A and B are shown apart, each in its own frame.
Chain A
């Protein structure tokens, strides 16, 4: 048991957790924006998969990482645009259209993979960039400042998202559209524009979430490689109670427990069935939420289409 508390083990668990948290952060921060404006996007996983494939393919062909990232952003934005049209203009039921977009992304990414690549390949992705000075700090430097660019950006997104949502007019407008679209509309905030903005932003961040896996953390593409990660990301938005810092806490908790269960499996003195170990992050996430007895309520207009004509 003492093995798990040694410094090197803790460092390795924390660095693992930071890496695992990265795609969740992108996707969940994006989802936070769209939910704050009143739109539930269950299609995150599909957007991630398409972003993952397209960025991987572009990097595979051009060896240009930034071009790859850009293509993930474009694909995510396009998926977001389609989602926005369907949920804002056509006022479609959000949860179900999200499932539709998920299936589309799941199938399409695999289809493109089969047609364009045909087999599992690897690319040279974003490599680790130690941050000068900071990375030399013992323990903390190794955990936080010895990662690749997309990991840094994911964590930088948290304060940025907090700032935008809480300290800017844009954020105020997003929140008011999510709470009371009629009132926002009456004071001249365009509900349609705001929702288009947040859904497309969500799509972009989901696309980058996929790219962070395929061209930064894993450097491969495999069919259905996200494996339910996008749905966990949506769940983390609820965990974080629609707040950027809450989402960060949720993503870190889930990922750290994931890293811990992997470590527990290889400790000889603990004999735990692997299936039970794999359950741990899921169970603990629920338990923590129960214990925290959060009383935060969802944006009032979440999942409700806005119809100006009424």
Chain B
């Protein structure tokens, strides 16, 4: 009785699936990329796919890249020149791998895997699609030394803007205590914080920079409470990185503490207290990548966005009355980083 039931369960399942199949559009085997012509027909738009761990509206890492793509698209002449598709919320690494392979077999020209957790997947997929370009970040590893030639890599020198923010933060702090709210101590966030601490100490070696790592990219409440903890410890200037910081910005505003943003402009969240943001502008990287692809170079280059190449932009809140001497100190820091006279220790 029971075994029959199971057999029928499996059969019924198969039956229904095949029924669904005939109802749906006939499934076509995706053509492998090897057969794809290397030269694009000019009328065809350049096809870009992007895979992101969080959402295109996260006001942080994912949004910074998506916005840059849209900007490049506009520059190139809209949707007829460049087609953008995205997979957001791909925090599951092997789901992302499936998406990357799928886009590749559908003939996308450039596939951006926007997260350092996707590298292993690219390493595996890229060799199967030699005329498709892949890109990933943040890292500088293009797997070139492993014989893979169609992977670009990109990275943000987030410590640079972190340093500039730190210089301003230490100059503006009256209490001499600054608070930092971070997700987990790794990657881009860690770089930013290291730069920030170095910048603050360069102005005032005695300044106390307290750092809280809350162990999560999504816990808005804990980020807010970390900000409260900093306020309780006497901090009057705060900063933080990743998509859970809006909670912390609210706390800063409530307590009249100043805020420094990074990754994207967070000014709109609290116009009275956001002093400045380090904004990532990936268009620099994208432009270079596209130029390379046009010339038949599908990968092997690593790019870094920096203050020098305009990929990192210091965005000042015009509504905030920044004292002239602090602004001058910030400008000097930017100059120094660009001309190399300031070196930021990040180990």
Contacts and interface: CB of A to CB of B under 8 A. Distances in A.
A and B touch in their complex, CB below 8 angstroms: yes
Interface of A: 8-9, 11-13, 15-16, 19-20, 23, 110, 113-114, 118-122, 213, 217-220, 222-229, 258-259, 262-263, 265-266, 274-275, 278
Contacts, number: 123
Determine chain A's interface SS by DSSP, over half rule.
helix
A263 B233 CA distance: 8
A262 B210 CA distance: 11
Contacts of A19: 225, 228
Q: Which of A217, A222, A224, A258 has the most CB of B within 10 A?
A: A222
Given A213-B221, A275-B184, A262 B57 contact: no
Contact of B211 (A15, A265, A278): A265
Nearest to A229: B221
A222 B243 CA distance: 8
A266 B184 CA distance: 15
A282 to B, nearest CB: 11
A220 B211 contact: no
Contacts of A12: 228-229, 232-233
B246 interface: yes
A16 B269 contact: no
Contact of B224 (A15, A113, A121, A217): A217
Given A213-B220, A227-B216, A266-B210, A220 B55 contact: no
Interface residues of B, number: 37
A9 B232 contact: yes
B193 to A, nearest CB: 11
9 smallest beta-carbon distances between A and B, as pairs: A12-B232, A274-B213, A278-B215, A266-B210, A227-B219, A220-B246, A225-B220, A262-B229, A227-B218
B130 to A, nearest CB: 36
Interface of B: 54-55, 57-59, 179, 184-185, 210-216, 218-222, 224-226, 228-230, 232-233, 243-244, 246-247, 249-250, 268-270
B247 to A, nearest CB: 4
Nearest to A220: B246
B269 A227 contact: no
